[in-house]
Amino acid sequence: MVYKTPFVNGIAYTTITTYSKSSFEETLTFYKSLLELNETTVLNDTTVMLANEVTFIIVKLIEDSSKCQNFQVYRKNLIDLRFDRDWRGLAVDSITFTVSSLSIMMQHLMNMNLPFQCSPSITAPTQIYTLDPVGNLIGMTGTKNAISTQLAPPKSPVSSALPSRSSSTRNLNKDLSSHLTTEGDYPSLPPNIDVSDKNKRCIAVMTSGGDAPGMNSNVRAIVRTIIFHNCKPFVVYEGYEGLLHGNIKEVLWEDVRDWNAMGGTLIGTARSPDFKRREGRIQGAHNLINFGIDALIVCGGDGSLTGADIFRSEWPDLIKELLDTNKITEEQYKRHQHLNICGTVGSIDNDMSSTDTTIGAYSALDRICEAVDYVEATAKSHSRAFVIEVMGRNCGWLALMTGISTAADYIFIPETPASSETWREEMCDTVSKHRARNKRTTMVVVAEGAIADDLKPITASDIHETLTKRLGLDTRITTLGHVQRGGSAVAYDRILANLQGVEAVNAVLESTPTSPSPIITVNENKINRKSLVESVRLTKSVAEAIKAKDFKKAMSLRETEFVEHLQNYLAMNRADHYEPKLPSENRLKIAIINIGAPAGGINSAVYSIATYCMSQGHKPYAIYNGWSGLSRHESIRSLKWHDILGWQSRGGSELGTNRDTPSSTDMGMIAYYFQKYQFDGLVLIGGFEAFVSLEQLERARDTFPAFRIPMVLIPATLSNNVPGTEYSLGSDTAMNALMKYCDAVKQSAASTRGRVFVIEVQGGNSGYLATTVSLAVGAQASYVPEEGISLEQLSQDIETIGQSFEKAQGRERFGKIILKTGNASKALGAANLARVIQAESGGKFDAKFAIPGHIQQGGLPSPIDRTKATRYAIRAIGFIEDSQSIICGSRTGDEEFMAYDKKISATASVLGVKGSRITFTSIRKLYDQETDLPNRMPKTIHWEGTRAIADHLVGRKTVGVNGT
Ligand SMILES: Nc1ncnc2c1ncn2[C@@H]1O[C@H](COP(=O)(O)OP(=O)(O)OP(=O)(O)O)[C@@H](O)[C@H]1O
Ligand SMILES: O=P(O)(O)OC[C@H]1O[C@](O)(CO)[C@@H](O)[C@@H]1O
Ligand SMILES: [Mg+2]
Residue 949 to residue 224: CA distance in whole angstroms: 11
Contact 117, 102 (CB under 8 A): no
Domain 735-859+956-963 -> CATH class: alpha beta
* Cα 435–Cα 439–Cα 442 angle in degrees, nearest 5: 75
How confident is the model at residue 177, as a pLDDT? 34
- Residue 196 has a CB neighbour count (10 Å cut-off) of 6
Element (H, E) at 569: helix 560-573
Element (H, E) at 287: helix 278-290
Using alpha carbons, list the distances in angstroms from residue 442 to 202, 425, 474: 55, 15, 10
For residue 360, is pLDDT > 90? yes
Percent of the chain residues topping a pLDDT of 90: 68
How confident is the model at residue 91, as a pLDDT? 57
416 contacts: CB under 8 Å, gap ≥ 6? 396, 551, 555, 566
Which of 23-27, 463-467, 639-643, 656-660 has the weakest average pLDDT? Answer: 23-27
How confident is the model at residue 169, as a pLDDT? 28
Whether ligand 2 lies within 6 angstroms of the CB of 352 is answered as: no
Whether ligand 2 lies within 6 angstroms of the CB of 802 is answered as: no
Residue 827 to residue 146: CA distance in whole angstroms: 8
Contact 760, 783 (CB under 8 A): no
How confident is the model at residue 182, as a pLDDT? 37
Alpha-carbon torsion (78, 82, 86, 87), positive or negative: positive
Contact 551, 545 (CB under 8 A): yes
Residue 147 to residue 793: CA distance in whole angstroms: 12
For residue 556, is pLDDT > 90? no
Helix (H, G, I), strand (E, B) or coil at 867: helix
What is the number of the ligand 2 atom nearest to the C-alpha of 271?
3
How confident is the model at residue 195, as a pLDDT? 40
Catalytic residue positions, numbered: 349
Task: For residue 442, name the pLDDT band (cuts at 50, 70, 90).
Answer: very high
933 contacts: CB under 8 Å, gap ≥ 6? none
Residue 793 to residue 775: CA distance in whole angstroms: 18
Count, in order, helices (H) and strands (E) of the chain.
28, 32
DSSP class of residue 179? T
Residue 749 to residue 805: CA distance in whole angstroms: 12
Whether ligand 2 lies within 6 angstroms of the CB of 392 is answered as: yes
For a mutational test of ligand 1's pocket, the pick from 211, 276, 348, i.e. the residue with the most ligand atoms closer than 8 A to its C-beta, is 276
Residue 579 to residue 560: CA distance in whole angstroms: 27
Higher pLDDT, 406 or 122: 406
How confident is the model at residue 152, as a pLDDT? 40
How confident is the model at residue 443, as a pLDDT? 98
Residue 69 to residue 124: CA distance in whole angstroms: 36
Task: Identify any residues that bridge with 442 across adjacent strands, giving them in sequence order.
Answer: 385
Closest CA to 890 of 876, 908, 878, 909: 908
Whether ligand 1 lies within 6 angstroms of the CB of 209 is answered as: yes
For residue 294, is pLDDT > 90? yes
How confident is the model at residue 858, as a pLDDT? 73
Three-state DSSP string of 231-275: CEEEEECCHHHHHHHCCEEECCHHHHCCCCCCCCCCCCCCCCHHH
Q: In CATH, which of 3.40.1500.10, 3.40.50.450, 3.40.50.10470, 3.30.420.40 is domain 176-356+489-537?
A: 3.40.50.450
How confident is the model at residue 766, as a pLDDT? 96
Contact 177, 726 (CB under 8 A): yes
Residue 678 — left, alpha, or beta (φ > 0 → left; ψ -120 to 50 → alpha)?
Answer: left
Residue 870 to residue 648: CA distance in whole angstroms: 9
> If you count them, how many residues does the chain have?
964
For residue 159, is pLDDT > 70? no
How confident is the model at residue 150, as a pLDDT? 41
Task: For residue 523, name the pLDDT band (cuts at 50, 70, 90).
Answer: confident
Using alpha carbons, list the distances in angstroms from residue 684 to 43, 54, 594, 928: 66, 50, 6, 19
691 contacts: CB under 8 Å, gap ≥ 6? 713, 715, 722, 723, 910, 923, 926, 927, 931
Contact 148, 96 (CB under 8 A): no
Per CATH, is 361-484 categorized as 3.40.50.460? yes
Residue 529 to residue 271: CA distance in whole angstroms: 26
Closest CA to 960 of 410, 187, 348: 187
What are the b/e assignments for 358-378, b being 16+ CB within 10 Å? bbbbbbbbbbbbebbeebbee
Give the phi and the psi of residue 789 in degrees, each rounded to 5: -120, 115
> Contacts for 451-459 with beta carbons within 8 Å, 24 or more apart?
451/414, 451/417, 451/546, 452/417, 452/418, 452/419, 452/420, 452/423, 453/417, 453/418, 453/419, 453/420, 453/549, 453/551, 454/420, 455/417, 455/546, 455/547, 455/549, 456/420, 458/412, 458/417, 458/418, 458/423
Region 239-262 average pLDDT: 96
How confident is the model at residue 773, as a pLDDT? 97
What is the residue with the minimal CA distance to atom 2 of ligand 1?
307
Residue 289 to residue 302: CA distance in whole angstroms: 25
Give the phi and the psi of residue 589 in degrees, each rounded to 5: -105, 120
How confident is the model at residue 922, as a pLDDT? 98
CA of 303 to the centre of ligand 3 (A): 5
Residue 719 to residue 715: CA distance in whole angstroms: 10
CA of 686 to the centre of ligand 2 (A): 39
Instruction: Decide whether 7-161 matches 361-484 in CATH topology.
Output: no
Whether ligand 1 lies within 6 angstroms of the CB of 478 is answered as: no
Alpha-carbon torsion (61, 64, 65, 69), positive or negative: negative
The reply to whether 668 sits in an annotated binding site is no
How confident is the model at residue 101, as a pLDDT? 75
CATH number of 7-161: 3.10.180.10
For residue 161, is pLDDT > 80? no
DSSP class of residue 355? -
Higher pLDDT, 152 or 857: 857
For residue 83, is pLDDT > 60? no
Region 924-930 average pLDDT: 97
Using alpha carbons, list the distances in angstroms from residue 651 to 55, 518, 656, 687: 51, 40, 12, 16
Per CATH, is 582-729+861-933 categorized as 3.40.50.450? yes
Which spans in 39-125 are helix H? 65-81, 102-111
Contact 344, 302 (CB under 8 A): no
Using alpha carbons, list the distances in angstroms from residue 935 to 120, 436, 598, 765: 13, 51, 20, 6
Residue 819 to residue 774: CA distance in whole angstroms: 7
Task: For residue 164, name the pLDDT band (cuts at 50, 70, 90).
Answer: very low
DSSP class of residue 409? S
What string of DSSP letters covers 922-947?
EHHHHHHHSEETTTTEESS-S-HHHH
Average confidence score pLDDT of the chain: 87
Residue 511 to residue 503: CA distance in whole angstroms: 12
What string of DSSP letters covers 764-814?
TT--HHHHHHHHHHT-SEEE-TTT---HHHHHHHHHHHHHHHHHHTT-S--
Residue 333 to residue 294: CA distance in whole angstroms: 11
Task: For residue 899, name the pLDDT band (cuts at 50, 70, 90).
Answer: confident
What is the residue with the minimal CA distance to atom 17 of ligand 1?
209
The reply to whether 574 sits in an annotated binding site is no
How confident is the model at residue 554, as a pLDDT? 87
Higher pLDDT, 515 or 863: 863
CA of 370 to the centre of ligand 1 (A): 29
Exposed/middle/buried for 630, CB within 10 Å: 0-12, 13-18, 19+?
A: buried
Which ligand sits closest to the CA of 242?
1
How confident is the model at residue 86, as a pLDDT? 63
The reply to whether 817 sits in an annotated binding site is no
Which ligand sits closest to the CA of 542?
3
What is the residue with the minimal CA distance to atom 7 of ligand 1?
307
Which ligand sits closest to the CA of 312?
1
Task: For residue 661, name the pLDDT band (cuts at 50, 70, 90).
Answer: very high
Contact 340, 296 (CB under 8 A): yes
Region 9-15 average pLDDT: 53
Whether ligand 2 lies within 6 angstroms of the CB of 366 is answered as: no
How confident is the model at residue 898, as a pLDDT? 86
DSSP class of residue 175? B
Region 490-510 average pLDDT: 97
Region 96-121 average pLDDT: 76
> Contacts for 192-196 with beta carbons within 8 Å, 24 or more apart?
193/230, 195/230
Task: For residue 8, name the pLDDT band (cuts at 50, 70, 90).
Answer: very low
Using alpha carbons, list the distances in angstroms from residue 627 to 399, 630, 687, 911, 961: 38, 5, 14, 21, 45
The reply to whether 44 sits in an annotated binding site is no
Task: For residue 572, name the pLDDT band (cuts at 50, 70, 90).
Answer: very high
ipTM: 0.96
Residue 59 to residue 61: CA distance in whole angstroms: 7
The reply to whether 538 sits in an annotated binding site is no
Domain ranges of the chain: 7-161, 176-356+489-537, 361-484, 582-729+861-933, 735-859+956-963
Contact 775, 946 (CB under 8 A): yes
Task: For residue 181, name the pLDDT band (cuts at 50, 70, 90).
Answer: very low
807 contacts: CB under 8 Å, gap ≥ 6? none
Task: Identify any residues that bridge with 478 across adjacent strands, giving them in sequence order.
Answer: 388
810 contacts: CB under 8 Å, gap ≥ 6? 753, 754
How confident is the model at residue 194, as a pLDDT? 39
